[in-house]
Amino acid sequence: MANQRLIYGFHAVNARLWQNPKSLTELYIQEGRQDARTRDVLEKATAEGVRVHFADAARLNSLCKNARHQGVVGFIDASRHHVHLEDVLENLNEPPFLLVLDGITDPHNLGACLRVADAMGVHAVIAPKDKSAGLNATVSKVACGAAETVPYITVTNLARTLRELKEYGIWIVGTDMGGEADLYHYSVPDSVAWVMGSEGEGMRRLTREHCDALVSIPMLGMVESLNVSVSAGMVLSESRRQRTLRQEQQ
């Protein structure tokens, strides 16, 4: 199938089994494994009617190109339950909290960003279709299940999408070393979309021009920059902290 995608490892497979089991087209389990995690996966897969195959380690290694699969490999129909941005925004019962990734091509970085986005309660992660890492087995593995829980929305024209977000009353905040405010002295809006650029080049010019504010992360040591997933964790955590304080004060 053109839309079939590989996932592997207990976190990714379990997340898919519990969140969206009907999208799993088939599951491969290493034969002879009797540990509790494997039994739980098999039990859940059977209950959900997922087709299960038993295979030796060599077969699983071949399927996922020798990645650390932990004895479980699955194929999903990636076309099922595709989420659009409007679906997310129109079904929220709190101010939108979004993460925009501009030019993040490393699947490990994308997976880590999805993981921290899930931890901080981000409603969706948005990225351009071109020059971005797509969802694949590596992303799912690194994300430890977050790739199955956080909507990852790819758009054809990121600048147009940012304009649409503004129409929803969402403040577009970019991270930039030369930002006019620093993270610890910036009052994060209730409705916010944080924009992160690639570690090397940062945001593209047009993306930067669509930001309502540019905020820097204070660097107190010798290093000049942070990995994008670390930066994302910092700004999302600060946003969640401020949001929680405002809610407690109401």
Q: How many domains does the chain have?
A: 2
pLDDT at 8: 86
Whether residues 100 and 201 fall in one domain:
yes
Whether residues 152 and 131 fall in one domain:
yes
Whether residues 61 and 104 fall in one domain:
no
197 known member of a binding site: yes
The enclosing domain of 179 has a CATH number of 3.40.1280.10
Whether residues 231 and 143 fall in one domain:
yes
Q: How far is residue 210's CA from residue 172's CA, in Å, rounded to a whole number?
A: 7
Q: How far is residue 23's CA from residue 81's CA, in Å, rounded to a whole number?
A: 8
Say if residues 119 and 91 touch (Cβ distance below 8 Å): no
Whether residues 142 and 217 fall in one domain:
yes
For each of the chain's 250 residues, which pLDDT tens digit applies?
446 778 888 888 887 888 778 878 899 999 998 899 999 999 999 999 999 999 999 999 998 888 888 999 988 876 555 567 887 887 788 999 999 999 899 999 999 999 999 999 999 999 998 888 888 888 888 888 788 788 899 999 999 999 999 999 999 999 998 888 999 999 999 999 999 998 777 899 999 999 999 999 999 888 888 899 999 999 999 999 999 999 898 7
Letter for the amino acid at 115?
R
Residue for token pair 């993040």: 104
Give the three-state DSSP class for 85. helix
Q: What is the CA radius of gyration of the chain?
A: 20
The enclosing domain of 8 has a CATH number of 3.30.1330.30
Whether residues 67 and 95 fall in one domain:
no
Which residues are 115's β-sheet partners?
A: none
What is the phi/psi pair of residue 98, to 5°?
-125, 155
Give the three-state DSSP class for 159. helix
pLDDT at 177: 87
pLDDT at 223: 85
Q: How far is residue 150's CA from residue 156's CA, in Å, rounded to a whole number?
A: 20
The sign of the dihedral angle between the CA atoms of 138, 142, 145, 151 is: negative
Whether residues 172 and 215 fall in one domain:
yes
Domain that holds residue 18: 4-77
DSSP assignment of 192-231 equals EEEEEEBTTTBS-HHHHHT-SEEEEPP--SS-----HHHH
Which residues are CB-neighbours of 24 under 8 A, at least 6 positions away?
A: 16, 17, 45, 48, 50, 74, 75, 76
Number of H helices, E strands in the chain: 9, 11
CA distances to 21, 72, 124 from 96, in Å: 27, 35, 9
Whether residues 50 and 110 fall in one domain:
no
- Domain limit, last residue, from 29, 55, 77: 77
pTM over cut 0.85: no
217 known member of a binding site: yes
Whether residues 54 and 117 fall in one domain:
no
Quick one: 68 exposed, middle or buried, by C-beta within 10 A (0-12, 13-18, 19+)?
exposed
Whether residues 52 and 150 fall in one domain:
no
Whether residues 189 and 234 fall in one domain:
yes
